[in-house]
Amino acid sequence: MNKMDTSIVWQIGVVVRDVEEAAKKVQEIFGFAHQAEVGLNGTVVYDGADVTYMGQKVDGNFKGAFYDFGSVQIEFMSPADDGPSVWKDYLKEHGPGIHHVAWKVADNDKTQEYLESKGLKMMQRGSWPTGSYAYYDGLESMGLIIETLEFDEERKSGEALVEKWYERKHD
């Protein structure tokens, strides 16, 4: 691989202290409710996700609200527990703000090899029934965290992901 295998910017992630407050503000300004909510005490709990943070297995729980704005999804997220995570680190070091830009990739394993060969350290990686994600530290070199997202064929939208988690939790 001589370049990242995508040109599709999928999502911009924003870390906030309170997802519910951010969702209310988006509703007030843009006039619509979030399309999906994920996390502890939300409609879905990520207790089955396989998450590694800085090389250690963690719970990786978060609350989130997702909005599709044309071809780009905006994700608001906040840590949902006291465990370590990239979201908690970002809030502590930078406060609320744009956390990452996510690209859709065909193969997260190959993309990880490529990005690490370019000097980007993987910060956190996780998987769920319909795909996987990884965050890479590009803050010093590019001013942003890179997220890569790999989805299986069933992945149609942010709502499809949440519906699958919800069905699993309520069967």
Q: Which of 105, 101, 151 is nearest to 128 (CA)?
A: 151
Read off the pTM: 0.80
d(CA 15, CA 161): 20
The answer on pLDDT for 169 being more than 50 is no
When the pLDDT of each residue in the chain is averaged and rounded to a whole number, the result is 81
Predicted confidence (pLDDT) per residue in 13-65, tens digit: 999 999 888 888 888 898 876 665 554 433 333 455 678 899 888 887 788 88
> Of the spans 57-61, 115-119, 128-132, which averages the highest pLDDT?
115-119
C-beta of residue 131 within 8 angstroms of C-beta of residue 104: no
Summarize the confidence of residues 66-75 as an average pLDDT: 84
